[in-house]
Structure 1
Amino acid sequence: MRAAGRVTLKTIADSLGVSAKTVSRALTGKDSVGEELRTRIRAEADRLGYVPNSMARSLVSGAAMTLGMVITHPANPFYALLISAVEERCRANGYSLLLMVTEEDPETEREAAEALLRWGVDGAVVIPVQAGAAHWQRLQDSGVPIVLVNRGLEGLNCDFVGVDHERGAYEAASHLLDHGAATLHLMEEDVPYSSAADRRAGFHRALAEHGLPVQEDTVTLVPPPAPGRRATPWEPGAAYRHAQQLASRLEPGSAVLTGSDYFALGLYRALTEKGIDVPTQVAVIGHGDLPFAAYLQPALASVRPPAAEIGARAADLLFERIQGSTAPATTLYLPPELKARASAGGDDRHEAN
């Protein structure tokens, strides 16, 4: 029968007639306890439903056994895979994960950094707003290692793991040009973040290598949602309104590279309303390879970022720092994968992700 109330080391000790210190040594694998007694103690702990007190353990070890994770948008599907990968690594190492959301607000991010400092987390995985690094520097100076994900921060010397956005956009744009696009357009976020800037750089590089100029009207910038709105980071509606204007300028043989699959959704509708066929008249490639991409008609070609791998690599780097690594800061850019489906002249089969 399970004991009433919280089961403690003393509860187990009293049940077996041994000391609480012996129980602690047995459950933490210390060599000073014989195997037969250790087996009895573990069996009794299981019978009573003992759960280790992580707070007490952290007081003894000097570690909170918790990682902090700061993201910008909870609705961003990229972050869902990222969070799962980090949380999986936490569980494997006996850690908990504390998640915080900034909604791209610099003040909220500053408060999040201060909260992580107060709570004494052992390390932090951070997707920064890129509006200053002072609060993250204070956290790092306090002894809390930080790994930045997807966006860097000038002046902060720490590990970084992100998507090679420049390469992804370059390969997607090159694919469109190599498959006959006479004119190439980019529909991108109108934001000051490095990820968007890197995609624009890749787009420009592909044009330059194919001997094509970057004309002013070939880049359409889509504004983000209004500040403070808790919504998806991209809106098909905003892209649709801009795509209506773009669609009226597109000649047969054009192609459009978008910075988001949500943008491609808005573009699909605008093109359909104009009677423009995808891909025979206009080819389209999105970014993100969201679950709906392969099931649109035609199936949307998209650049798939390695979200789970990025999360796993970021967590592994963080645990290396927690364990005392003093190696120079690591910078990793992981390549995305182009899924060349029917909207860009690829296979129209509905593939599983």
Structure 2
Amino acid sequence: MSVEDDPAGDGDAAAPDAPSSLTMEDVAAAAGVSRTSVSRVMLGQKKVSEDTRRRVFAAADRLGYVPNVLASELASRGTSTIGLLLRDAANPAYGLLFTQLQEAAHAADLTLVSMTVTADNRGQRQVAGLHRLMGMRVGGLIVATGGVTSEQLEPFCSRIPIIRAGRPETTEHIHAVSYDEVHAGRTLAEHVADAGHRDVAIVVTAEGDSYPEFVRGTTMAATLAGRGVRIIPVPVGAGPRGGVDEAVALATEGRVSAIMCPSDLRQLEVLRSLAAAGVSVPGDVSVTGCDGVLHGADLLGLTTYRIPVEQLAVRTVARMAELLAARPGAGVVAERLPGVLVPGRTVGPPSSRKEP
């Protein structure tokens, strides 16, 4: 519903067959509260008591009132609704981030309108999602995906406050609160090198497919090379299972004593294939992942790196609130949050097994 459809500026919607248009004033009168209180309740804000909240909802139910929240905010020039573009929510790392962003937004009296994109072609579907969110007249955008490039995001920046969540930013004028992927890659590589491994396969994701995983993989390679370790890169796109078969083959042939993966999901695929091939972990080969948010990862004993999802969500929402308030002199947001190593049972010293 647009402003033109709501000449009274209430942002209220009535059923097509209703004898008269119900407004927030009608609900306020029925509940015995102010129109401002009704508006706050309908927007999910916390600046009302539980008693007021119950009375407003009861009155709205009796009257059959249905609010148009986006139109209401547009009429009042409000900016409490934020668009969220999220990479595949089925991925545990993104699913947890979605939950944490929702909780942080609620605590800040902000409302998130979200879209999620799974399979994509060079970020085209994700860019289309940004356009759709913009069409909803949201007050700002949180972009929580590694599949949209800086070049694709730049045209939106002059129109609305935008902040990246999770993906490191490659320019100096796009706001971002990200995981410190360089710290992740370096920490994991040093752990593998400290265990004594000197021949390591690294599953590397292309930059255009996932920039965070690309940074992790390239950092692992650079760190290990600096420690004198021989590296065999395995491109994610080099096979029907994204590099898994190639990496496992290197291990079964005795050419590497460790396999480093850019995510825990890919680590699990490698572990399944190694088990099917009769290769012992970590007896014959060590395996690492990254993210550290899988349920039961501690029981599986995965060696991984825990990204600070909860902290990132809180910082992203706080920074967005600052951008919406247009506080002068804030500058470009550029935060990178380090996580922690989770030393599990999937990494041990290299075995004495020789190449057949």
CA RMSD across the alignment:
3.4
Paired AA for residue 220 in structure 1: V
20, 25, 33: which one aligns with 1:9: 25
Cα deviation code 1:273-315 (max 9, x no counterpart): 443321122222111222243333xx22111211222122111
Q: Residues 63 and 179 from structure 1, CA distance in 2 versus in 1: closer, same or farther, beyond 3 angstroms?
A: same
* Contact 2:126 2:148 survives alignment (8 Å): no
* Matches of 2:31 and 2:182, distance apart in 1: 63
Please give the residue correspondences for 1:267-346 in structure 2 after superposition, counting only pairs within 5 Å. Answer: 267-289=270-292, 290-296=294-300, 299-326=301-328, 327-345=330-348
Q: Residues 23 and 153 from structure 1, CA distance in 2 versus in 1: closer, same or farther, beyond 3 angstroms?
A: same
62, 82, 85: which one aligns with 1:67: 82
Number of paired residues? 312
Percentage identity across aligned positions? 21
Q: Residues 26 and 343 from structure 1, CA distance in 2 versus in 1: closer, same or farther, beyond 3 angstroms?
A: closer
1:7 CA drift (Å): 7.7
Paired AA for residue 274 in structure 2: L
* Contact 2:201 2:250 survives alignment (8 Å): no
Cα deviation code 1:163-205 (max 9, x no counterpart): 1112112111111211222322212324534313321332133
* Matches of 1:190 and 1:178, distance apart in 2: 27
* Contact 1:69 1:98 survives alignment (8 Å): yes
* Matches of 1:15 and 1:242, distance apart in 2: 67
111, 114, 134: which one aligns with 1:99: 114
Gaps of 5+ in 2: 1-17, 41-48, 350-356
1:48 aligns to what?
Answer: 59
- SS of the residue corresponding to residue 325 of structure 1 reads coil
223, 229, 235: which one aligns with 2:237: 223
Q: Residues 123 and 248 from structure 1, CA distance in 2 versus in 1: closer, same or farther, beyond 3 angstroms?
A: same
Paired AA for residue 117 in structure 1: M
* Matches of 2:236 and 2:280, distance apart in 1: 23
Q: Residues 224 and 27 from structure 1, CA distance in 2 versus in 1: closer, same or farther, beyond 3 angstroms?
A: farther
Paired AA for residue 219 in structure 1: P
* Contact 1:189 1:222 survives alignment (8 Å): yes
1:43 CA drift (Å): 8.2
* Matches of 1:154 and 1:104, distance apart in 2: 21
TM normalised by structure 2 equals 0.75
* Matches of 1:67 and 1:331, distance apart in 2: 20
* Matches of 1:25 and 1:48, distance apart in 2: 15
- SS of the residue corresponding to residue 346 of structure 2 reads helix
- SS of the residue corresponding to residue 342 of structure 1 reads coil
Cα deviation code 1:241-286 (max 9, x no counterpart): 223322233358x222111222222322333344332112222211
Paired AA for residue 250 in structure 2: L
Q: Residues 220 and 49 from structure 1, CA distance in 2 versus in 1: closer, same or farther, beyond 3 angstroms?
A: same
Q: Residues 12 and 187 from structure 1, CA distance in 2 versus in 1: closer, same or farther, beyond 3 angstroms?
A: closer
Paired AA for residue 80 in structure 1: G
1:250 aligns to what?
Answer: 254
Paired AA for residue 179 in structure 1: A
1:240 CA drift (Å): 3.8
* Matches of 2:150 and 2:242, distance apart in 1: 28
Paired AA for residue 222 in structure 1: V
* Contact 1:150 1:161 survives alignment (8 Å): yes
1:137 CA drift (Å): 3.3
* Contact 1:163 1:335 survives alignment (8 Å): yes
* Contact 1:300 1:342 survives alignment (8 Å): yes
- SS of the residue corresponding to residue 343 of structure 1 reads coil
Paired AA for residue 309 in structure 1: Q
139, 142, 150: which one aligns with 2:156: 139
* Contact 2:179 2:308 survives alignment (8 Å): yes
Q: Residues 273 and 41 from structure 1, CA distance in 2 versus in 1: closer, same or farther, beyond 3 angstroms?
A: closer
- SS of the residue corresponding to residue 277 of structure 1 reads coil
* Contact 1:147 1:160 survives alignment (8 Å): yes
* Matches of 1:26 and 1:169, distance apart in 2: 50
